[in-house]
Structure 1
Amino acid sequence: MEREYDVIVIGTGVAGSDVAWHCREAGMRIAITDHQTYGGTCALRGCVPKRVLAGAAEVVARVHDQQGRGIRGEVSIDWPQLLAFERSFTDPIPRRKEERFRRAGIHTCRGFARFAGPDRVAIGDDLFSARYIVIATGAHPRPLDVPGADLVTQSDDFFYLETLPERIVFIGGGYISFEFAHVAARAGAKATILQRSGRVLKGFDHDIVDRLVQASREVGIDVQMNMPLLSVEKTAAGLLVRAGREGEEETFEADMVVHGAGRVPAIEGLDLAAGGVETDRRGIRVNEYLQSVSNPAVYVAGDANPGGVQLTPVAVRDAHIVVDNILNGNARAADYWVVPSAVFTNPPIASVGLTEEAAKEKGIPYIVHAGDLSERFTNRGINQKHVGYKLLIDGDSRRILGAHLIGHHVEEVINIFALAIKHGLTVDDLTLDAIAWAYPSNTYDIIHMVHPLVRM
């Protein structure tokens, strides 16, 4: 028997869930499915558990930094207890989410979905048809094509380790590896990051990243550049990782190897060809309305949208765009011009707007203003040594084009710069004459970032 709906949503993360709920509120008949536990990456294998682990690492880092400055006595992470606390956040989510769907009148399914035609989806032995099909399947770790890849632990599984290994090698120099490495190091493990190229965290400003690498090495994290993974093999002592360029290979001993080398849209197995959904090497081809260029019944939201950014707030906004376009006939285009992002290390880094590389590539003239804020009492008072900023300014209009920060609470401060860029504010709009910022606070330190520019 074939069931008919207005919208079928594939994926129960933040993007898929928002599409389902908002379309249901508009009176549409909705079905949603997932082959994994309901909840998606952010809630179960990403942002939520990561923030819990990062919060514990931050406490240890703060106590360590203030030893001899009015604080004495060591603290340490009790890994099993921390994991139990983390799971108090994640374990209830699947049941709550399914119950909420059902209370809203959304039909819930479980299993792998595959296209059975332009407007049809098969889930197991059941067939569903719909006016619209929304793909919100998220992303998964990029396949590693090296001998011993089966010995590598997926980053998703790091959140559910019953015990923390003593020696961990992280493959890839992106935010996943850095965040996990900082947690592992503060929990007492020996952490190594292997980056295939000469630069880590490529989406962030290189000067800010250099300071984070220095801070990482100071807490014992071994950051290795130009170390592409060659193989992983099992030994009597654990795992042996081979990496490096030809003729310059090195080996690293580990108890666990964690995949942090990027994620790709999770769209294999959907049988997109059967649905007439075109793909390219990046994923599903969509137009500015997040609609398949080859099948107008299909929309894409979240990580499965290769043109977006793999961040939860972006997935939520994608979902809202898809809902608007389903309900109102492609009334809203997507744009990813202002997307703040942060890496939850110790200290964290954050970025929004143009980097110098991007500005040069686009031919946009700019002025750089950079500085160190470690001697500001807000930072010196907690012994934060790695605190700095880089601002990109339009020399004529004085508008802020980009902001790149490292230091305590920068994951919050960056949102001020995001608003400034979004609304075309100038450096003068951020001064004390314009806004009486709360004091003392890290946000108030914006005054010291822009003050010399006011006299330009």
Structure 2
Amino acid sequence: MTTKHYNVFVIGSGVAGQTAAKICAKNGLSVAIADKQAFGGTCAIRGCDPKKILLQFADLIQKSEQLEGLGIKKLPKISWSDIQNFQKSFTEKIPKSTEENLAELKIDMYHQSPTFISENEIEVEGKKVTADTFVIASGLTPRKLNFEGAKFLKTSAEIFHLPKVPKSATFIGAGYVGMEFCFLLSTLGCKVTLIDSGAQALSQFDDFLVDKLVSSMKKKGVKFVFNAEIESVEKKKKSYKIHYKQKGKSKTVTSKIVFNTSGRVPATALLNLEKANIQHDETGVIVDDFLVNKTNKNVYACGDVSSKSLPLTPLSGLQGYIVGNNILKKNSKEFENPLVPSVVFTHPNLATVGYSEAEAKKRYKDVIIFKGDASNWYNAKKGNAAVYAFKIIANKRTNEIVGAHLISAAANETINIFATAINTKMTIDEFKKMIFTYPSYASDLKNMLKDA
């Protein structure tokens, strides 16, 4: 078996891996990168980016339905095949362009998941490879479910290859991905059921706003089944029967397709990390503040697979930058988890940044809660939107805003204003002095900070 040596070997070609690899290559180090899937990463090819392309058409239908009879005479017709071709025009060119960019930097590429055989050796594509430093940026992979018939489940990535909108679909898991794709398919005419083992959807978001989103989606025909345990999935001639237990009773639902949206876990199973003395657990590869593995100091981890990350592309890029620079100059960059806003791209959007109400009450002696339903405010009424609400949290002692939670058609953008306010330790009084464009959703934000 031939042996090749590199200064740096990167595992994973998403934003984190590419960023680290490019920094090292541009500074004269010999670099290789490996990925068992198409080069470019989850977000760009089978995640965030193509998902948003599809979701905008569901947004269009939803907005049109809200305004039907108020100026919209006929609802637009959607061509699913054209939508799929449109999103593919973005995604299909990414692997080639990614490889071309890496090749220009003389980065060697391997199209297979490597396996560690010792602390500084891997096997990949039938070759033994050694490296001074390894960077694990392999991301996340769909969580495997263990019940009879689990092999029949599809992943969310397969939605980007559906030839047509199915007549019915069942999603197992009510997190970001499950809720977003439930919204997409149900709005485009699919009969959707969502099953979750928990008591509510989107457990990391504010209950007050989640309840409003779930109620809105129910009115659009989505069936929610909470506190349920999947027992099996049975393949029929042209459909699947999902057997589940709820409140001690066995129940079933039948649909044309079943998706596993129960979450994602660190993609480390194929790497044989134990052979390389790389500490890891369910949070990913265990790293310190310099993103160095705790037990193998020649290994870095960045992006979603890092124990110090969240599954968000901007954070992956930041961590890749830190790793690349720390390889060039040891411990030169330290990772500090930044304030990160999160959005569920349903319609309306559900967004959050900073502390939840429960977290704020644990952290501060006294808090101020601004909470309300804004569905009778101008911006909701002009779009005939049934759902618009908020919860803003401030530290009573300092009057600083410490958390914000929004549900509206524009929450994905307006949450960034609160992110800025929290980052700059802005007080309620300072925020209310700001002037925003009017009449915009941003102009509503000051009105949310009236008497609690």
TM range, normalised to the smaller chain? over 0.9
8 Å contact from structure 2 (residues 366, 397) kept in 1 = no
Aligned equivalent of 1:445: 444
Quote how far apart the aligned CAs of 1:170 are.
Answer: 0.3
- Indicate if the aligned counterparts of 2:364 and 2:395 stay in contact, CA closer than 8 A: no
- Partner SS state of residue 367, structure 1: strand
**2:119–2:276: 8 Å Cα contact kept in structure 1?**
yes
| Distance in 2 of aligned mates of 1:345 and 1:139 | 22
In the alignment, the residues of structure 2 paired with residue 442 and residue 27 of structure 1 have an alpha-carbon distance, to the nearest angstrom, of 49
Secondary structure (helix, strand or coil) at the match of 2:110 reads: strand
2:435 maps to a residue whose letter is A
Partners of 1:137 and 1:362 lie apart in 2 by 35
The CA distance in 2 between the partners of 1:248 and 1:352, in whole Å, is 39
Deviates more, 1:67-76 or 1:166-175: 67-76
Look up the equivalent residue of 1:445 and give its one-letter code.
D
Note the C-alpha offset of 1:76: 3.0
Aligned pairs (5 A) from 1:22-171:
22-171=23-172
Letter in 2 for 1:329: K
Q: Name the counterpart of 2:173.
A: 172
Cα shift at 1:46: 0.4
Structure 1 runs (4+) greater than 3 angstroms displaced: 360-365
Residues of 1 paired with 2:29 and 2:234: CA distance?
Answer: 53
Q: Write the distance in 2 (CA, Å) between the matches of 1:89 and 1:320.
A: 25
The separation in 2 between residues aligned to 1:127 and 1:440, in whole angstroms, is 63
Which residue of the partner structure matches residue 234 of structure 1? 235
Tell me the equivalent position of 2:294. 293
8 Å contact kept, 1:60–1:75 = yes
Q: 1:74 to 1:343 in 2, by over 3 A?
A: same
Cα distance in structure 2, aligned partners of 1:133 and 1:64: 52
24-33 vs 257-266, greater mean Cα deviation: 24-33
Letter in 1 for 2:48: C
Cα distance, 1:364 vs structure 2 = 5.7
Question: Which residue pairs with 1:189 in the alignment?
Answer: 190
Decide whether aligned partners of structure 1 residues 254 and 367 sit closer, same or farther in structure 2, where only a CA change above 3 A counts. same
- Equivalent pairs: percent with the same residue? 33
Whether the aligned pair in 2 keeps the contact of 1:197 and 1:228 (CA below 8 Å) is no
Measured at CA, do residues 320 and 230 of structure 1 come closer, stay the same or move farther in structure 2, by a change above 3 Å? same
Once the two structures are superposed, residues 100-157 of structure 1 have per-residue CA deviations (whole angstroms, 9 ceiling, x without a partner) of 1111221222112111222222212222222211111111111101110001111211
Contact 2:350 2:407 in 1 (8 A): yes
1:397 aligns with 2:398: yes
Tell me the distance in 2 between the aligned counterparts of 1:96 and 1:409.
33
Change in Cα spacing, 1:2 to 1:237, as seen in structure 2 (3 Å) is closer
Written as runs of structure 1 = structure 2, the 5 A alignment for 1:271-282 is 271-282=272-283
> Is the Cα–Cα contact under 8 Å of residues 13 and 38 in structure 1 kept in the other structure?
yes
How far apart, in 1, do the equivalents of 2:361 and 2:431 lie?
25
C-alpha deviation, 1:385, in angstroms: 1.6
1:37 deviates by 0.7
Deviations 1:150-196 (A, max 9, x none): 01111211111112211100001101111001110111100111011
Counterpart residue identity of residue 379, structure 2: T
Helix, strand or coil: the match of 1:244? strand
Unmatched tracts of structure 2, length 5 or more: none
Q: Residue 336 of structure 2: SS of its match in structure 1?
A: coil
Change (3 A) 1:258 1:377: same
Quick check: 2:368–2:393 contact (8 Å CA) kept in 1?
yes
SS at 1:211's partner residue? Answer: helix
Task: Note if 1:321 corresponds to 2:334.
Answer: no
After alignment, is 109-118 or 21-30 more displaced? 21-30
2:11–2:114 Cα contact (<8 Å) kept: yes
Give the CA deviation at 1:419. 1.6
Answer yes or no: is the 8 Å Cα contact 1:386–1:407 preserved in 2.
yes
- Which AA in structure 2 matches 1:192? T
| 1:361 to partner: Cα distance | 4.5
CA-to-partner distance for each residue in 1:400-434, whole Å, 9 max, x for gaps?
11100000111111111112112211122222x3x
CA contact (8 A) 1:174 1:202 kept: yes
**2:228 partner SS:** coil
Answering whether residue 205 of structure 2 is matched by residue 204 of structure 1, we say: yes
Tell me, in whole angstroms, the C-alpha distance in 2 between the residues paired with 1:322 and 1:427.
38
Q: 1:364 to 1:229 in 2, by over 3 A?
A: farther
Gap change, CA 1:261 and 1:364, over 3 Å in 2 = farther
CA distance, structure 1, for counterparts of residue 101 and residue 449 of structure 2: 47
* 1:335 shift after superposition: 3.1
Quick check: 1:377 aligned with 2:369? no
How far apart in 1 are the matches of 2:275 and 2:90?
39
CA distance in 2: counterparts of 1:332 and 1:384, whole angstroms: 46
Structure 2 partner of 1:350: 351
Q: Secondary structure at the match of 1:121?
A: strand
After superposition, residues 219-230 of structure 1 pair within 5 angstroms as 219-230=220-231
Preserved contact between residue 168 and residue 189 of structure 1 (Cα < 8 Å): yes
CA distance in 2, matches of 1:101, 1:347: 39
- When the two chains are superposed, the root-mean-square deviation of aligned CA atoms in Å is 1.6
Taking the aligned partners of 1:315 and 1:65, their CA distance within structure 2 comes to 37
Q: Distance in 2 between the 1:2 and 1:249 partners?
A: 57
Letter of the 2:224 counterpart? V
Q: 1:52 to 1:364 in 2, by over 3 A?
A: farther
Name the residue aligned to 2:6: 5
**Stretch deviating more after TM superposition (85-94 or 157-166):** 157-166
1:77–1:186 Cα contact (<8 Å) kept: no
SS at match of 1:398: coil
Deviations 1:192-229 (A, max 9, x none): 11011112101111111011101111111111111221
Query: Structure 2: how far apart are the matches of 1:18 and 1:442?
Result: 35
Which has the larger displacement, 199-208 or 116-125?
A: 116-125
Closer/same/farther in 2, CA of residues 247 and 373 from structure 1, 3 Å limit: closer
**Structure 1 position 337, deviation (Å):** 4.9
| Counterpart residue identity of residue 448, structure 1 | N
